Amino acid sequence: MYDMYLVLLVTIATTLVSLALTAIYKKVAVKLNLVDVPEARRVHDKIMPTMGGITIFIAYYFSLFFLLPIPHYIVFPIFLGSLVILLTGMIDDMKNLSPLLKVLGILIGALIVFYLGDISLETMTLPFIGTLKFGSWSLPFTLIWILGFTNAVNLIDGLDGLASGVSIIALTTMGIIGFFFLTIQEVSISIMIFVLIGAIAGFWPYNFQPASIFLGDTGALFIGFMIGVFSLQGLKNATLISLILPVVILGIPITDTLFAMIRRKMNRQSISVADKNHIHHRLMSLGLSHRQTVLAIYSVSAIFSIIALLYNFSTFWGSALLTVFVVIGVELFVEIIGLVGADRRPLLKSLRDFGNRLNKKKPDNH
């Protein structure tokens, strides 16, 4: 068992190290021309230091390797995999990698944690069916899972403090669930999660609107990769609920990713093409300011996290009702903000038609 006071102290120390490193790196990034230049798809209008994920990475692994007694056989494979992701993000920030090369970098990182860290999904227990063994399907599922979560976080990194704040909320939920509801071995992962929260928290004040530094793909890919890896730690022998939990926790980035793919498919575009119709763009188009949009998305992320916590106390049928509530709620949210398109709102249209039919059936008392 770990000394919880030590874990708390290390988490605070990690935050302070990240805070100091970010302050130093901001100046270094400008001198080395590691900056993000405004363009049509960007929201910011001035040159900004980027690749801030480097400071999160350094602060995080400094604490894991030198301040906490977590076994290296747990930490080292994740370190190697995330190092590949960090380098992929750095090259992308500097050279603008093609989507294919970026995906290749993420897959290499995922292969490292799969083979060296034994991080994978092997079985799944389904209600009324029993236990299913993934066998040879374990590898592709693991790769797709990590790739999906990595890209989901990267996709929402479009406003000051958005990806970093949403990630802190999601990781906090994952850490709480892991600490109180999973096995002793998985408590090590929860501690690693809390230390990562500390590393991101040290960076967040510089990144929140008005930002003085950006995560860059360097940081967004790294954080997304870590969330994907940590979510798999509790899924080696999964139940349907344990599979749903990470998806609900990351409700905002996953919703944004899923509906971006649907939107582009319906518009006959490549799924890798960039646009300005993501959740944060749509909320700002409705009149919210930059900061209001970020805070609104934080709030929705917190709601998803509370729902995820409720799953741990629910019966099977209670979880089923929660899932129905989440699906309907997400669809309403997506249609209200016009995430797929202003003319593609089937649920709202059905509700309006139903309301009109009810009004026609009401007797006229005049």
- CA distance between the termini of the chain: 76
Mean pLDDT on 4-33: 94
pLDDT tens digits, one per residue of 159-186: 889 999 999 999 999 888 877 765 555 6
| Secondary structure class of 365 (helix, strand, coil) | coil
pLDDT tens digits, one per residue of 122-161: 776 666 677 777 778 889 999 999 999 999 999 888 888 9
Q: Which of 225, 200, 227 is closest to 85 using CA atoms?
A: 225
pLDDT at 339: 81
Per-residue pLDDT band for 81 (boundaries 50, 70, 90) equals: very high
SS3 letters across the chain: CCCHHHHHHHHHHHHHHHHHHHHHHHHHHHHCCCEECCCCCCCCCCCEECCCHHHHHHHHHHHHHHCCCCCHHHHHHHHHHHHHHHHHHHHHHHHCCCHHHHHHHHHHHHHHHHHHCCCCCCEEEECCCEEEECHHHHHHHHHHHHHHHHHHHHHCCCCCCHHHHHHHHHHHHHHHHHHHHCCHHHHHHHHHHHHHHHHHHHHHHHHCCCCCCCCHHHHHHHHHHHHHHHHHHCCCEEEHHHHHHHHHHCHHHHHHHHHHHHHHHHCCCCCCCCCCCCHHHHHHHCCCCHHHHHHHHHHHHHHHHHHHHHHCCCCHHHHHHHHHHHHHHHHHHHHHHCCCCCCCCHHHHHHHHHHHHHHHHCCCCC
| Total Cβ atoms within 10 A of residue 238 | 21
Residue type, position 172, single letter:
T
How far, in Å, CA of 24 to CA of 203, rounded?
A: 12
pLDDT over 80 (residue 343): no
Peptide bond into 210 cis (omega under 30): yes
Share of the chain above pLDDT 90, in %: 43
Structure tokens belonging to residue 233 = 């730690």
pLDDT at 56: 98
pLDDT tens digits, one per residue of 200-253: 999 999 999 888 999 999 999 999 999 999 988 766 555 667 778 888 888 888
- Higher-confidence position of 107 and 290: 107
Determine phi and psi for 80, rounding to 5 degrees.
-65, -45
